[in-house]
């Protein structure tokens, strides 16, 4: 395949682990991803298989996360429901500014446990996560340690987490 950008060279195919910050989650790594790069201009084409499945798997991992959700994870789950911030405020019966504060990149306020459990439940219901109810009690019991990394691998036609969420 010729470089679509400079048209000067053939793209070179490699398998790489890439960060997927475009998801809105800064700590997601995708393993064994096909990357085509131009040796002339450096242009990169990244092919992520089954994007919808990846987002589903990430949402499922967050719903079942033992630690409290951090700002970017709240935003990711909200978007996975297709909600704007205003929609989210309406559904959770909070003021719209509140949602912005939860998701603030610079100085987020922690989501109240009740709201967090409700958000997780709504995502779980939408995503048909069967085993959610079972560990509802342990969920959202720990403060985030900031060390977790979601390392995802596309294996057997499914997105799977190859490194468990941090349980320190
Ligand atoms: Zn090029």
The rounded Å distance from CA 13 to ligand 1 centre is: 13
pLDDT digits (tens, 9 = 90+) for 87-112: 999 989 999 999 999 999 999 999 99
Residue 142: pLDDT band with limits 50, 70, 90: low
The rounded Å distance from CA 12 to ligand 1 centre is: 10
Structure-derived torsion over alpha carbons of residues 52, 149, 14, 34, reported in degrees to the nearest 10? 0
* Sequence-separated (6 or more) residues with CB below 8 Å from residue 152: 20, 28, 29, 30, 31, 54, 57, 58, 159, 160, 161, 162
The rounded Å distance from CA 68 to ligand 1 centre is: 44
Question: What's residue 1's pLDDT?
Answer: 83
Residue 122: which of 52, 164, 167, 74 has the closest Cα?
74
Ion ligand 1 nearby residues (CB, 5 A): 3, 5-6, 38, 40-41, 43
The rounded Å distance from CA 37 to ligand 1 centre is: 8
Does residue 42 or residue 127 have the better pLDDT?
A: 42
Q: Is the pLDDT of residue 83 over 70?
A: yes
Question: What's residue 134's pLDDT?
Answer: 53
């Amino acid at each position: 395949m010729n470089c679509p950008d400079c048209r000067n060279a053939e793209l070179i195919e490699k398998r790489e682990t890439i960060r997927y910050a475009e998801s809105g989650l800064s700590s997601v790594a995708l393993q064994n991803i096909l990357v085509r790069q131009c040796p002339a201009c450096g242009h990169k084409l990244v092919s992520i298989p089954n994007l919808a499945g990846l987002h589903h798997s990430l949402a499922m991992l967050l719903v079942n996360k033992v630690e409290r959700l951090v700002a970017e994870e709240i935003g990711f789950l909200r978007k996975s429901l297709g909600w704007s911030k205003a929609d989210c405020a309406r559904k959770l019966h909070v003021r719209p500014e509140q949602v912005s504060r939860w998701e603030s990149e610079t100085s987020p306020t922690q989501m109240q446990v009740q709201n967090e459990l409700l958000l997780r439940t709504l995502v779980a219901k939408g995503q048909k996560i069967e085993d959610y109810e079972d560990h509802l009690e342990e969920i959202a019991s720990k403060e985030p340690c900031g060390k977790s990394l979601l390392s995802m691998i596309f294996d057997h036609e499914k997105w799977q987490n190859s490194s468990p969420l941090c349980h320190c």
